[in-house]
Structure 1
Amino acid sequence: MPKPPSRTNKATSAAKSDSKPPVNSANEDISVEENLATATITVTAIEIPELTEEEQRDRLHLERRVERAFFEAGKALAELRDRRLYRSSHRTFEEYCRDRFGHSRRQSYLLMDAAVIFDNLEQKCDRSDHILPTNEWQVRPLSKLDPDIQPEAWEQAVESANGKVPSHRIVKDVVQRIMERTQVPNTYQIGEVCQILAKDNPELRGKAGCWGIVNHVGEFSCTVKTWDGEYTVGLQHLKSFNYLPAECEQMRQICDRIRRLRKNESLEEAARAVLKHLGEVKRPYLTAFEGELLNFIEKKYLLQG
């Protein structure tokens, strides 16, 4: 019976042909290190040309445009609102800003407020280097101060930032120190008619410019009664109309009449809309026609004024 072919010789010969002298890894590492130590690295120097006078002017101009971007946006929004240029497509300015720019009501008004502050700083700051805000977030704390004090606060913040544009935190700290230094006693009186200044307080959204009656006086705040509720408001968010006592009493009576009518569950939507208008007027009095409307609603629902 024939034997199967042997594969031993083939495997052996293959192993021999593939075999190589052993490599000394230590010697190889030494050789690489020597090569690296003696290698020559060529560095090509690139000369960066200085800016020409025209380029320097262009750079400064473009930097100013970037810095003033939020200011220009706020100014444009204010003009759109004041001239009612949105009226052909939208019922209210807030709806227009939301649809056209994706802004919330708060965002649009913050930009407009910031533009007013920026303009004030640009006109009144004495610093020769004219360090000005570059975004709305930096100037927002300044809205708590009177316009006459804002430049002083901004210059202090710039100094704290070592001559650079200060951060929101630095400006806020400076504003807090100034407010603590200039804190005055609460001089409001119960029954006084005040205007609500919403500013950057989201809890007062929709109440900007509305009137209210002070019914509690605290150390740093007042509780104000309005046509639709009561609000605890910081002193920086109130402004007195300086009405005579008799005029304050007249407005208190109007406020109470509106609040009493609103409790009537059978009140129609049209009547509620009128009461809402009367409660949100941006002045502490009613016109003769508005007074007649209030009287009519009271007679309709059998209430006495």
Structure 2
Amino acid sequence: MKAKNQSAIEFLLLGLSEDLGLQPILFGLFLSIYLVTVLGNLLIILAISSDSHLHTPMYFFISNLSFTDVCFSTSTVPKMLVNIQQQSRTISYTACLTQVYFVLVFAGLENFLLSAMAYDRYIAICNPLRYTFIMNPCLCVLATLFSLFISSVDALLHCLMLLRLSFCEDLEIPHFFCELDQVIKLSCSNTLLNNILVYTVTSVLGGVPLLGIIFSYIKIASSVLRMPSTEGKYKAFSTCGSHLSVVSLFYGTAFGVYISTAVTDSSRKTAVASVMYTVVPSMMNPFIYSLRNRDMKEALKKLTSQIPFLL
């Protein structure tokens, strides 16, 4: 089978359904989800930046997580909306690799930020007297920049490995965005090195932060259970509630997609399942942090009172 010139390659994003009658419904649904995601996360960022009481390490990471959620959603949903609106499924080779890059960057960054937030809660509960010293602004900024650097290097490495692949016929991607694994499957050249890289990096960069989160919460639970006051226990656990909800949503949906991929041969069902980890967590995070956090509620009330058109 003859390989195509890379500059002439165009992939086809099959989306979630080929039913033309469903396209307007999907367009309206995902446009609504995207707008809620962007507006909700921007409100969180504005509320935190405008309230000096929230200029703490925990809210610094929350604001960065909200920014990451906006970017993560923007890297996938707008292209899907454009394709539905124009009734076109094509995406160029360059655009596809660009999408792969940014999806990997922001997915990786969210993974690291959740781990950093777990460490922040661990220090706040298990070592409160040294919290200000350990979780200083310099450390928070360095942790965020380091997370971004590692995620960017990881994404760049995967994209460089994609550049060595040749693509022939049948360039249909059964997803609404260019997912790395699906692009690799379309190659007509040897993809052994690509697959080894994917499994190795996913295990390390995905497993290490997750283990860090689990370790942090084991230590937190152990410390809280030793507290003599019931009120103290409740207060300690309540500060972790929002983060635990976000962690459960992010990793739960990701593992759900992995399991669905393993048990079903239907690529279309896998594409539908992938919506759960690419779109839903980014939309739900602002609600989790605003509804379960009293300080955030107060900050949002102050912000909306200062902006007449939000009343």
Of Structure 1 and Structure 2, the greater helix share is in: 2
TM category (shorter chain) comes to under 0.3
TM-score by length of 1: 0.25
User: Which is greater in Rg?
Assistant: 1
Higher relative contact order (CA 8 A, sep 6+): 2
Of Structure 1 and Structure 2, the greater strand share is in: 1
